[in-house]
Each structure stands twice: as structure tokens, then as C-alpha cells.
Structure 1
Amino acid sequence: MPRGSNAKRERQYEHIKDSAEKRGESDKRAKEIAARTVNKERARAGESRTASRTSTEDISSSRRGGLRSHSGSEGPTRDQLYNEARQRNVKGRSTMTKAQLSKALGH
């Protein structure tokens, strides 16, 4: 846990670390992800002495994660559709767009 943190940031660190481990990240990588995320949030909130420009001006980690978590509403990715088309032996799949693959598969 980064030095100078409060109880909220410690809880946040543990939550992020646990989530990363559940996704299959190694313990070392999970700790790195959690520390970087918490440090960025501290910088954005003005809780750290120094902060990089990307930490304060870039999209926040929590917002980025939230945007990604709703990606299922757009349906499967083009690569997922392509793999399904390959399994079904759809002709011309390599040159198809996402919309064309979706139509060919009946999605």
C-alpha cells in the first residue's frame, strides 16, 4: 500500500488487488495494478505531493473501468464474431466488417 494513504485508499487498494487476482493476475501484478490505480486516484484528488499530467488530466481509472464494463451492450467484438464465423465455415469472413459478420451469423 502506498505511504501516506488513508483508510479509504487502503480499502480501495485491497478491493482492486482482490479483483485482479480473481481475474487470474499474479500476486505481484495484482499489487502493481492496485498501487498504480490508487496512486492515480490520490493524485486526481490532490492527496499526493506530486502528480503527473496524465494522472490529473487523463480519464479516471474508475471511469475507464466503468466504460469497459458496459461494453457488453454493444454485443460481441468483431474478433469474437470472426471466430464464430470460422467455426461455422462462413465464406468471405476475412473481408467482412463487424456488421456483416453479425448479419451472416444471424445475430
Structure 2
Amino acid sequence: MPAGSNAKRERQYEHIKKSAQERGESAGRAKEIAARTVNKERARAGESKTSSTTSTRDPKSASQRGGTRSHSGAQGPTKDQLYAEARKRDIEGRSSMTKKQLQRALGR
């Protein structure tokens, strides 16, 4: 944990690290995830000396977002992800569809 963190952030760090390890992350990766999450929370709360604009102006904290931005990059979900969703919805002809066709069939 960074210098200057309080007991709450220490507990938060340990909880996040433990959760990541339970999900199967390596010890090093779990520490990294926990440190990044806690540092972002500290920045949002004004507890750190420096912080990025996204850390302080983001409408929701990382813990509140809960993955809402997953797969929403420049091109959105991958073709495989779209195909999996089409399979769940039982869309006919999905195996021969392109990514664009899958998006249209799924209403995206």
C-alpha cells in the first residue's frame, strides 16, 4: 500500500487482493489489481497528492461501474462474443454471418 493510506484503504486493498486470488489470479496480478483499484478510490476521495482527470471526474467509481465498460471499446464486442449471444438467442444463420450482420441481427 502507498504511504499515507488509512486503515480503511488497507482493509479494502486486502479484500480486493483476496477476491482476485479466489478468482484464480496470480499473487502478483492480484496485488496489482488491488493497488490500482485502491489508488483510484483514493484519488476520487481526494486522499492522494496527484490524480488523473478520469479518476476524479468519472461519473461512477470503478467499484460502482462493475464492468459496464467491458467490451465497449472502439469496435465494441468481438465477433466471437456476438456469436455467443446469437447462439443464446437461437438466431438462425448465425454461423455464416459477418460481425456486422451479427450486430444487426442482435439489434445493436
Q: Shared fold by TM > 0.5?
A: yes
| Aligned-residue identity in percent | 65
Residue type of the alignment partner of 2:23: R
Shift of 1:55: 1.0
SS of the residue aligned with 1:48? coil
SS of the residue aligned with 1:41? helix
Higher helix proportion: 1
TM-score (norm 1): 0.67
Query: Unaligned regions of 5+ residues in structure 1, if any?
Result: 69-76, 100-107
Change (3 A) 1:79 1:16: farther
Aligned to 1:47: 47
Change (3 A) 1:79 1:53: same
Please show how residues 23-42 of structure 1 align to structure 2 within 5 Å: 23-42=23-42
SS of the residue aligned with 1:47? coil
Distance 1:39 1:67 in 2: 20
TM-score (norm 2): 0.66
**What count of residue pairs does the alignment treat as equivalent?**
88
Aligned to 2:72: none
Over the residues paired in the alignment, what is the CA RMSD in angstroms?
A: 2.6
Aligned to 2:84: 80
SS of the residue aligned with 2:66? helix
Residues 1:60 and 2:61 aligned together: yes
